[in-house]
Amino acid sequence: MQDIPQETLNETTKTEQSARADLWEFDLTGIGGGRYFFCNEPNGKGEPV
């Protein structure tokens, strides 16, 4: 299991989250590809996810 940053844990305990994130998954394993995950929010470093 990966370590979850304290800031993320704090966000999940709020009654109302600060933003709604859109998440997408492209599963191309059926045609020999990989699984790709995308999000409309930047990560903790400000980089695209």
Residue 46, by phi and psi: left (phi above 0), alpha (psi -120 to 50) or beta?
left
State the pLDDT at residue 18: 63
Instruction: Between 14 and 27, name the one with better pLDDT.
Output: 27
State the pLDDT at residue 44: 79
User: What is the C-alpha end-to-end distance of the chain, expressed in Å?
Assistant: 20
- Tell me the backbone φ, ψ of residue 43, rounded to 5 degrees: -80, -175
- 3-class DSSP string for the chain: CCCCCHHHHHHHCCCCCCCCCCEEEEECHHHCCCEEEEECCECCCCCEC
- Over residues 21-46, the pLDDT tens digits come to 788 899 999 999 999 988 888 877 88
Whole-prediction pTM: 0.46
